[in-house]
């Protein structure tokens, strides 16, 4: 069997469509590009090529993986985030566009001291940053790449995630990013001293345990449960973060967390209840849903 490339991709698309993959046409093309190491221009230039059996088989093997529900990004091994390319595998969550919104807000805070245009902190005071539960390192590495004169530490409880994050820091030219294996703040508490930061940013696991089986199979069958499961009410990690974060923030320090669309009020309350934070603000994502909670260490004792 030999097939023209455009026919091959049509068959791939049909196979994905038949099993209900939403972006079948896009995925069929992107998988071919990955298979033949082409970009989209290259793909157009080869559109009329006739392919031999072994090429077709190699491509269909990838189509089968995608048809079985494996996310495109785990097959190709990459996801773009904040204009950078991140390596991903099933040890880390695939970076989401919603998280880019939080990173953009964070960059504005670091560079200008404002939050969506309104004054929030004194600019230039945010130097020492912690990406807590860093996974692939998408947040911390993007900040290190896109902001000058900051020190970034990425921490995660998963050794395997840290391996991916370190590779991503190297690949994106962020050699000075530090990595710590840590169960939330555990590695930053020595007997005598707690390590403190100017800003702590985190996308912790936040899906309610009972909701996980209802998620799309790409997520529930392939992404790491440890990065998704936020316990019975989804708030387990925010509870611990709200309790412990103040002790790891310098004066005027900021905590910024990604949240689920229905967690704005609950997470705001968790920070309020500690009485250690001021200006607790909930921000929306591009779809208009609650997505980020930001709080400032209170100056009151
Ligand atoms: N945003 C992810 C999702 O919807 C969850 C991320 C997380 O739990 N931190 O699947």
Q: Which residue's CA is the nearest one to ligand 1's atom 5?
A: 228
96 lines ligand 1 (CB under 6 A): yes
**Model pLDDT, residue 122:** 77
How far is the centre of ligand 1, averaged over its atoms, from the C-alpha of 75 (Å)? 20
Task: Say how far apart CA 106 and CA 104 lie, in whole Å.
Answer: 5
**Would you say residue 20 has pLDDT above 60?**
yes
Task: Say how far apart CA 63 and CA 196 lie, in whole Å.
Answer: 47
Rounded to 10 degrees, what is the CA torsion of 172, 34, 39, 11? -150
Range 26-54 average pLDDT: 94
Give me the chain's average pLDDT, please: 95
**Model pLDDT, residue 1:** 64
219 lines ligand 1 (CB under 6 A): yes
Structure tokens at 246: 């103040």
> Model pTM?
0.95
How far is the centre of ligand 1, averaged over its atoms, from the C-alpha of 230 (Å)? 10
**Model pLDDT, residue 140:** 98
Q: Give the pLDDT confidence of 43-101 residue by residue, as tens digits.
A: 999 999 999 888 899 999 999 999 999 999 999 999 999 999 999 999 999 999 999 99
203 lines ligand 1 (CB under 6 A): yes
Q: Give the pLDDT confidence of 211-251 residue by residue, as tens digits.
A: 999 999 999 999 999 999 999 999 999 999 999 999 999 99
How far is the centre of ligand 1, averaged over its atoms, from the C-alpha of 232 (Å)? 15
**Model pLDDT, residue 301:** 57
Task: Say how far apart CA 213 and CA 10 lie, in whole Å.
Answer: 32
228 lines ligand 1 (CB under 6 A): yes
Q: How confident is the model at residue 123 (pLDDT cuts 50, 70, 90)?
A: low
**Model pLDDT, residue 13:** 98
Measured in whole angstroms, how far is the alpha carbon of residue 199 from the centre of its chain? 17
For the ranges 12-21, 45-54, 58-67, 290-299, the lowest mean pLDDT is seen at 45-54
For the ranges 41-45, 119-123, 270-274, the lowest mean pLDDT is seen at 119-123
**Would you say residue 124 has pLDDT above 90?**
no
**Model pLDDT, residue 126:** 73
């Amino acid at each position: 069997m030999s097939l023209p490339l455009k026919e091959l991709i049509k068959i791939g698309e049909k196979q994905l469509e038949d099993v209900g993959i939403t972006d079948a046409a896009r995925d069929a093309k992107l998988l071919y590009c990955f298979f033949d190491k082409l970009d989209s221009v290259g793909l157009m230039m080869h559109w009329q090529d006739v392919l031999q059996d072994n090429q077709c088989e190699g491509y269909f093997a990838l189509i089968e993986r995608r048809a079985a529900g494996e996310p495109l990004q785990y097959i190709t091994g990459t996801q773009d985030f904040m204009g950078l390319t991140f390596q991903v595998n099933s040890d880390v969550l695939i970076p989401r566009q919603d998280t880019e919104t939080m990173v953009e807000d964070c960059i504005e805070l670091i560079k200008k001291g404002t939050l969506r245009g309104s004054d929030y902190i004194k600019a230039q005071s945010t130097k020492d940053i912690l990406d807590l539960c860093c996974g692939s390192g998408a947040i911390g590495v993007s900040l290190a790449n896109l902001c000058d004169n900051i020190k970034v530490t990425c921490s995660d409880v998963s050794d395997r995630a840290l391996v991916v994050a370190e590779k991503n820091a190297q690949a994106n030219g962020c050699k000075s990013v530090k990595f710590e294996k840590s169960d939330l703040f555990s590695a930053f508490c020595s007997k005598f001293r707690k390590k403190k930061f100017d800003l702590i940013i985190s996308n912790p696991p936040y899906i309610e345990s009972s909701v996980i089986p209802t998620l799309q199979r790409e997520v529930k069958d392939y992404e790491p449960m440890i990065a998704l499961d936020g316990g019975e009410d989804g708030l387990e990690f925010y509870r611990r973060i709200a309790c412990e974060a103040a002790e790891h923030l310098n004066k005027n320090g900021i905590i910024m967390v990604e949240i689920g669309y229905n967690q704005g009020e609950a997470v705001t309350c968790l920070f309020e209840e500690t009485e250690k934070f001021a200006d607790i603000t909930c921000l929306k994502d591009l779809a208009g849903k609650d997505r980020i909670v930001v709080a400032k260490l209170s100056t009151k004792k």
